Chains A and B, each alone.
Chain A
Amino acid sequence: MKEDFDSNWADQTLNVGRYRTLQRKIVILIAVAALLPLISLATINYYEHHSALMVQVQEPLRALVGKTKHSFELFLAERISAVSFIASAYPMSQLADTKFLARIFQTMSQAFTGFVDIALIGEDGSLLSYVGPYQLKDINYTGQPWFQQVLIRGAYISDVFLGFRQFPHVVIAVRHIEADGRAWIVRATLDTTQFEHIIASMGLEAGSDAFLTNRQGVLQTESRRYGHVLDQLPFALPPANFEPNVQEFQDNGGQTYFLSLSLVGHTDFVLVAMKPKPSALSILYAVRKDLVLVFLAGVVLIFGGVFTATRIIIQRLRESDAQRLAAIHQMEHTQRLSSIGRLAAGVAHEINNPLAIINEKAGLLQDLLQRQPDFPNKERFMQQIEAILRSVDRCRGITHRMLGFAKRMDVKIEVLDLNAIVTETVGFLEREAQYRNVTIEQRLAPNLTNIPTDHGQLQQVILNILNNALAAVTDGGHITITTWDADDRIGLAIGDNGCGMSEETLKHIFEPFFTTKKEKGTGLGMSITYGIVKRLGGDIQIQSAPGKGTTVTIFLPKRPPEGEGVQP
């Protein structure tokens, strides 16, 4: 409840919007400060991981293409060597002998798989001898492109073509020149099934693809994705060289691949291997998903933490501001109180100076007159001096009391005679009473028990009630003061035969600022009286009837009020 009150109070006094803005600013600041490293860390981590994974994904592909390319090169080199050996090891006359050629072919086929046939061709392009599954005779190859190529290069491997058997082949042709200038060409046909074997040995994953093409993009082996041998690739291949490289590549179907390709030596062939990117990077995507999740969780956690912490800080700040404000209010309040107190204390001190002069002047008069012979009214004169000296003494007591409350408002409890206080207090008002012909009758119980009470405060109470009584009675009125013993308390009643009070007035009589004396007075009279009596541990009652008068009755305890020590 208290906290609610405090914060409500603070809300009203302090600008609430200020705290909201402050909270927002702090949250943003801390969040940015905390999130920035997190974001950069996550980004860096992602890209590092990405590039590492790329290497990890691309490198095997590159290696595989490299290895396979070498396999192809080795395969073809062996076969070129074999054909080349045959072309150079035997004279033309022997090679032209079909039987001899058939024997050689048999031996060669045993050593190297894949040869389909072999032929000896003269420099003029005419078929000289042939061993193979076809019945070939009297053919001239002069017009064939491979023939022109072999004349120029000396050795030649053709693109794949479908032979007469409708089966993919390549031609290996080697030209041999004798020392005497004669030349001939040995031409062998290879079954490209071997190519398929080499590619199959790559051990491709599902979704991946590998094939040979020529430089024009015509498939030389089967492709899982782009068709059969001699089909045209539906896309243009990126430029290739002899070192396999890996690149990202999007085919016409829109799918992205890692593509590695390399030229195969001695040929026009390009070895191509493709691996779909999503599958290659599935680990990365999984990592990225985890990363995003962790990141989001981190953000939520940071925001939650920051928000909670900020709320607590702001709450504390608000509370401390409210406390400080209350302290300032309290301080200003005490300052005001202390300014009256200090001024009152100053006056209490300062008033002693004129009083001291009055005292000395009266004393001097006394001194001088004591040295004078009698004169009429001398006794009365001396009595007046005595009266002045007594008055000064009374003032002394009052300033002392004023100093007391001006410094602190504590109650100073002493064991006192109530009757004496009553008599003394009546003395203050006697002159006014006499002037207005009001009688103040004192019906004081003899041998009244002394009670622990505060002299000054009790005197104020009596003075206040007597003042009210004097105000209430008409000239020639009557006031009665009664004291009596009432078991564990002492009673004090002050009654008058004045105008009295209505029931309505009586109801409000103890409220601060309530007064019936419109023209003057603090308006605090009865409420002060009430406060003091309560502080002294007593009770106060008022009986009054309009036109009949008022009686104020006070009961004071014979024991000291709780928590108040008695000072002897």
Chain B
Amino acid sequence: MASPAQIRLRMRGIEKSFGPVHALAGVDLDVAAGGVHALIGENGAGKSTLMKVLSGAHQPDAGAMTLDDAPYRPSGPLDARRRGVAMIYQELALAPHLTVEQNIVLGREPATGGVVDRHAMRRAVNEALARLGDPELHPSDRVADLPPGLRQLVEVARALFGDARVVVMDEPTSSLSRAETERLFEVIDRLRARGVSVIYISHVIEDVRRVAQRYTVLRDGRSVADGDVPAAGAPEADSFGATVIEAMAGRRLDAVYPRVPHEPGEVVLEIDALSGARLPRAASLALRRGEILGIAGLVGAGRTELLRAIFGLDPVREGRVRVAGVSDAGAPPRDRWRQGMGLLSEDRAREGLALGLSIADNLTLSRPAARLGIVSRSDRDRATRALADRLSLRFRDCAQPVGQLSGGNQQKIALARLLHHNVDVLLFDEPTRGIDVGAKADIYQLMGELAARGKAILFVSSYLPELLGVCDRIAVMSRGHLGPARPTTDWSESSLIEAATSVAHG
């Protein structure tokens, strides 16, 4: 353990409540000077709340923080930045129409009497860029023209421009190619060498192992595990992934991913060289009854576009889809539902659910409980109640707007729509994003039961442990190309990452 003098940031017993919800119930975090500290946890574990406390966006209810042994209690984000704590958000907070340089200095333009001092600005920006190790960033490039990886570096440069002592990175690699990720890691190494501390939020175990020296796992607003990240080849390195996952979930691995035995049957969905307007590119696959087929890949690899093209939400440029004995080159969603196919959208709020519409209407929208165009409310509510029971879902009233439910329960309603329609082929796009561990386990359990009943599931996810834990076979998508589906036992987290990033490299 590092001696106190080397601790850059110390957080002790941090608590924060929002009404009855204890978002943080006592978090301890020590970040060494010039160290990379991984902060790991499920969605809703309290990571973002903790970082908002750190950045001054939230005031903690209890607990204390010190920065280089001085009491630290920022009054707001601006104060935190002045003290040297910089945040790099997941949703890039850049102005796309401005140049790299303008973005870096945004809000802190060196000026005399309101007139921007261009020379001082250029000098400071070049200095910040140099500290990144001179990447191929030009101060006059428009941010909109940069690939995502370089945009990320603009954010890092912006943090360095303010002489940051602590830089927080929130899921920084989720949309980066392998080369971009590697470049970011090199930048992080360089920051570390200069004595900057980095808090690295991620749940990609491989990334954590590559870049971090220490880790802390958050669950339900508490720090539940911490320690040194084992070096490659160390005896505990192999079990590190399992240790972290179990700490995140608070239960044994086999309880997180319940296995319901199921046997693959005949092929129900065949995709032949399917190409969309941009993505995917000539993707082919065959999905069997009673099978869960996972699709891994980076954000932007074209996995969502593949599902949307299959389902007729996006136009198909070339190729064929064969389902329920019918082969076509793209049919609208209405036909897909009729052929016994359903899609669970990755974006609940914007597409998956009409949040203002009632629970019952959302659930039955694809197949209203109606005769001669007139809705039978009793039938509709009965169907809703029955499915709610099956998914152990409780709510006051079927007529309640679905937006009033929690994220996990909303997702269950979106999923229940597919069960109500009794489809044979289920297309799941990130079904567990943004929901709590309990709801996740319920969904995994349900997927297993569906497969056991002969349903076929195409399962897109960015969270590798769940793919490895749930799927029978996994295929990897990279830059619109879909690789061959291989049995899950042939894959590991690192080989999936390898496959997801290898083509993207070229």
Q: Bound pair: A and B?
A: no
